[in-house]
């Protein structure tokens, strides 16, 4: 067993993301998924990769009311950064098209935070880390962009794309860092955190 220290623990993934669920399962863990609507806004004074940490911690705080002595809560957040501008989740086709055109033929940063929250001496304790990667896109044609948006509807994805989707196969020319960080969860960091519980 990969995590004998977790045998008596309830592992909770506090995320709506099917990709994060897939990645946690990749660690041979079957978490209980609990979902809430969470305010993902952040102060304007926070910039860059620090936003991923802030939102990841905020998500963890939103679940401490259900935290039991044998519980481990996993939260995460991903931001896409282009020239220090955060590309959020698009709300419609036009926003998604605009973002993908901006990313076309350029390099950008992806920052994914992961947090593990447990009870220590009766109080919630959150350990949080952020991993960053550089992703470079090929030139994306308008036909590629419109097909991707129509077929994959990336409205739940920061930066309007999922690296595991078609756009990753045909559009991403290089990744410097962990593929899984770009996908939404730095599982190599989560693995270490879980071993340290």
What are the residue numbers of the active site?
A: 77
Exposure letters 14-40 (e unless 16+ CB within 10 A, then b): bbebebbbebbeebebebeeeeeebee
Would you say 31 and 12 are in contact if contact means Cβ atoms under 8 Å apart?
yes
Q: How far apart are CA 76 and CA 113, in angstroms?
A: 5
Burial class (CB in 10 A: 0-12, 13-18, 19+), 146: middle
Q: Report DSSP letters for 1-45, one per residue.
A: ---GGGTTPEEEE----HHHHHHHHTTT--PEE----------TT
Q: How far apart are CA 129 and CA 57, in angstroms?
A: 10
């Amino acid at each position: 067993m990969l995590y004998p220290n977790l045998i008596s623990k309830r592992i909770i993934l506090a995320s709506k993301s099917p990709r994060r669920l897939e990645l946690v399962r990749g660690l041979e863990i079957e978490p209980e998924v609990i979902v809430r609507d969470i305010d993902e806004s952040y102060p304007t004074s926070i910039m860059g990769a620090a936003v991923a940490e802030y939102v990841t911690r905020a998500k963890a705080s939103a679940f401490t009311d259900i935290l039991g002595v044998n519980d481990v809560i996993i939260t995460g957040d991903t931001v896409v950064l282009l020239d220090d501008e955060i590309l959020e989740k698009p709300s419609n086709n036009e926003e998604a098209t605009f973002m993908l055109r901006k990313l076309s033929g350029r390099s950008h940063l992806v920052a994914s935070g992961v947090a593990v929250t447990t009870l220590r001496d009766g109080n919630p304790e959150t350990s949080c880390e952020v991993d960053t990667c550089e992703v470079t896109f090929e030139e994306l044609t308008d036909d590629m962009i419109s097909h991707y948006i129509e077929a994959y509807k990336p409205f739940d994805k920061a930066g309007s794309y999922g690296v595991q989707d078609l756009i990753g196969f045909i559009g991403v020319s290089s990744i410097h860092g962990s593929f899984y960080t770009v996908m939404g969860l730095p599982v190599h960091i989560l693995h270490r955190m879980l071993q340290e519980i």
